[in-house]
Amino acid sequence: MRAGVVLDGRYELRERLGEGGMGEVWRGHDRRLDRAVAVKTVRDTARPLLLARLEREARAAGRLTHPHIVAVHDSNRVVFEGVPAVYLVMELLPGLPLSAELARGLPPVPQALEWAAQVADALAAVHTPEVGIVHRDLKPGNIMITHGLVKLLDFGIALLSGTADTSTRLTETGHVVGTVAYMAPEQCLGSRAIDGRTDLYALGCLLVTLLTGRPPFPMDIGMMGVLYHHVHEAPPLPGSRRPGIPGPVDALVERLLAKDPDDRPAHAAEVRDILRALAADIRTPAPPPAAAPPAGQVRPATTTAAGAPPAPATPAPAVAAPTATTGPLPAPRDAVPPSPPPDRERVRRRLDAVEAVRSNRDRSPADRDAQAARMLRALLPDLALLYGPDARETLAARLTLAESVATNDPEQAVALLEDLIPDLVRTRRRRSRLTRAARAALARERQRCW
C-alpha cells in the first residue's frame, strides 16, 4: 500500500508507522468521522494465511471493550490493485511500545508491578468464558504505554473458543506459536492444551523483563537453548538479578513460571490483585523504629494504665501476614530438580516414528507434515538434553522441523531456518551437508513467501 490510498472510500492512509511479518501499520484518517486512526493492512496473494490472521485479530479484539485493550473500530477484506487485502482500523495510540520504554531504562519497581497488573487486568477480561480468548503472544512489543497506561495489542495469533471457524486453528499446525522468549512450556512442546494459564506464564516472563530488563531465558543462548530452558530449567528470579526486589515478588514470579500449568495461579484477576497489593506495600514502607537512647542512657520503662510494665513485644514474623485484599502470598517452592536424561532408545524410536509419519503417502502432505511438526516440537527438548543443543542429531531435527512446517506455513519455516543456520555455521562447517541443505531450504521458502 502507499500514502494517499483510501480504503472503502473512508480510511485514508497518510503515514506508514511500521511494518513486519503481519503487514503494515499506517497513520490514517477516518473521513466519515473526521478522526485520526491506526490502520493495519495485509496484502499478499502468496500468503493467504496472513489475511486470515488479520481477520481473526479483528474478530478477537472487536469482541472487547476494555481500558487496557486497544479498541478496534472496523475491518474489511478488499481488493487493491487486483490483489486481495485485509485492513483493520484501530484507535491511534500516542506513546511508545513497552519494548521502547524498557530500552530507555528500567521503571521503578512499583511502576513495573502496576504495568504488569494492568496487563493482568486485560488478560482477566479476555479470559472470561463470555469472551474466551487466549492471547498466546504476550511480549513487550505487543504492549503500548500511552499516557502512563498499558494497552494490549496484536491478537493475530489469539486462540478463540466457542466458534467452529477454522481460522481459529490456523496456527495449530505443530510449529511454534508465539515469541520464544515468552512462551510457556506447553507452547514449546506444541501442545494443544492451551488456556489462560499459558498467558500467565508469559506474564511471568514479562514481569521479569519489566524488573530486570531481560526475560528469564534471553535469546543469546539460542532458540533451542531457550526452548530447552522453558521446558526443563528453573528460571532465575528477579531478586537474583536486581538487588532490592522484595521476596513476595520473587515468590509470585516463581508461581507464574511454574512448568506445570496446574501450579500457576488459576486466574489473571488473582494475579492483578496480588501485583497491586505488592506495589502498594512498596510505596508505603513500614514506619522506622523509634530512635535508640543515647549511649549510657536507659530508656525508661513504659507502664500500663494499671501501673504494671508492659509485656515483652512479640517478635515480628519473618513473612508479612496475609491481608484481606491479597490473601496469602505464595511461599517460594523448592528449586526444580534437574531433569534426568531421556532414554536413548526411546528417543530413537520417536525419531523413527516421525520419519514414518513423513513418509506416509496415504495422508495429505499438509496433514502428515503437521503431525510430524508436532512430534518434533515435543521431541526437540529431549534431543537437546540427550545429545546437546549443538549436536548433529538436534540440529538435523531442527532442519526436519522447518521442512515439515514449510508445507503449512512457509513464513514460519523461514523464521526457523534463519535461527538454525547461524548455529550450523558456528558448530558445523559453513559448507557441511547439513548447512548447505538448510541454506537451500531457506532460499526455497523465501521464494515461496515472496
Please enumerate, by residue number, every residue annotated as part of a binding site: 40
- Dihedral angle over CA of 31, 35, 37, 42, nearest 10: 0
Q: Give residue for cell 562447517.
A: 429
C-alpha cell at 52: 486470515
Of 188, 190, 212, the closest CA to residue 202 belongs to: 188
- What CA–CA distance (Å, rounded) separates 91 from 211? 29
Q: What's the chain's Rg over C-alpha atoms?
A: 26
Measured from the Cβ of residue 126, the count of other Cβ atoms closer than 10 Å reads 24
Taken in order 190, 196, 201, 202, is the CA torsion positive or negative? positive
Q: Please tell me whether residue 226 adopts helix, strand or coil conformation.
A: helix
Judged on CB neighbours under 10 Å (0-12, 13-18, 19+), 111 is middle
**Could you give the angle at which helices 392-406 and 410-427 cross, rounded to 10 degrees?**
160
For 154, the grid coordinates are 496484536
Binding region for ATP: 40
Structure-block grid coordinates of residue 355: 520419519
What are the residues whose beta carbons fall under 8 Å from the beta carbon of 149, sequence distance 6 or more? 67, 68, 118
In degrees and rounded to multiples of 5, residue 37 shows phi and psi of: -140, 165
What single DSSP character describes residue 175?
S
**Residues with catalytic function:** 137
